[in-house]
Amino acid sequence: MEFEATFGTRAPVIGMVHLPPLPGAPKAPDDGATAMRDALDRAAADARALDRGGVDGIMVENFGDAPFYPDDAPKHVVAGVTRAATAIAAETDLPLGINVLRNDADAALSVAAAVGADYVRVNVHTGARVTDQGVVEGKAHETIRLRDRLGVGVGVFADTDVKHSAPLSAEGFSAESFADTAERGLADAVIASGRGTGEAMDPEALEAVVDDRDAHGLDTPVLVGSGVRADTIGDVLSVADGAIVGTALKEGGETTAPVDAERVAEVVARADEVR
């Protein structure tokens, strides 16, 4: 994919749609029809608020489905995410991304192909991480080949040192991991995050990721994937090539609350000051 052409800016602000529990999830209403209707209503409303606030793209994920399946979400989850993505696409023409938690890249790509989405997020694309779902292994070899078989130009945005996880090795992030993800794993963008949802990334750690990218002679965009706020997005975009913002765009700064268009507009306005 052409990163800048897709978003229409060199440093996009991508807003999150965190779906409430889908039918079959432990926290979903007992009535499956009610659960699905709630998810669709929230997805559509959040998409409208993000569009109105001026973001450059949207990412949807089944955030309310915890505890997550490690890497093979069942069919009812994939169907629910597909319906939600379709509802979002009906509300806005913004570039759309799909993330099927915890790490079902095949499902995300399949949903993206079905609804005409532009990119997917893959939490573990190469290597392996220890997570609350156990050891999650990257399957870049399968993901990239599936994209080719589907014949779609969907971008693969892959995390490095992904949040809510730990490395298998004591060394943690290595100088080779960026090249493994972007050069050998063929990711179209790399996402760097803090330790958890809504947690800011250490500025020095972000600079280290960008430095590693540059040291390998790559031009793969680096996005920050957690903890970005209105008062920090200027500093973030002075180093990174974009930001995925969720919690800071929600009413009261609560991750599971509805999107607040005024908070979105404030973040976007601060971003516009540096791009």
Amino acid identity at 258: P
| pLDDT at residue 130, rounded to an integer | 83
Task: Point out which residues pair with 191 in neighbouring strands.
Answer: 159, 223
Q: What is the mean pLDDT of the chain?
A: 93
Q: What is the DSSP string of 9-20?
A: SSS-EEEEEEPP
The order of strands in the sheet holding 134-137 is 134-137, 128-131, 165-167
The yes-or-no verdict on residue 32 having pLDDT over 60 is yes
The yes-or-no verdict on residue 200 having pLDDT over 90 is no
Each domain of the chain, given as residue ranges in start order, spans 9-273
Tell me: the pLDDT tens digits for 50-95? 999 999 999 999 999 999 999 999 999 999 999 999 999 999 999 9
Compute how many other C-beta atoms are within 10 angstroms of the C-beta atom of residue 186. 17
| pLDDT at residue 129, rounded to an integer | 82
| pLDDT at residue 273, rounded to an integer | 97
% of the chain residues with pLDDT over 70: 96
Q: Is 183 exposed, middle or buried (0-12, 13-18, 19+ CB in 10 A)?
A: middle
* Cα 258 from chain centre: 17
| pLDDT at residue 177, rounded to an integer | 74
% of the chain residues with pLDDT over 90: 83
Query: Quick one: DSSP state of residue 167?
Result: E
Mean per-residue pLDDT, 244-252: 97
Return the CATH class of domain 9-273.
alpha beta
Residue 217, phi-psi category: left (phi > 0), alpha (psi -120 to 50), beta (remainder): left
Tell me: the pLDDT tens digits for 112-170? 999 999 999 999 999 888 888 888 889 999 999 999 999 999 999 999 877 677 777 65
Tell me: the pLDDT tens digits for 203-213? 999 999 999 99
Model-level pTM?
Answer: 0.94
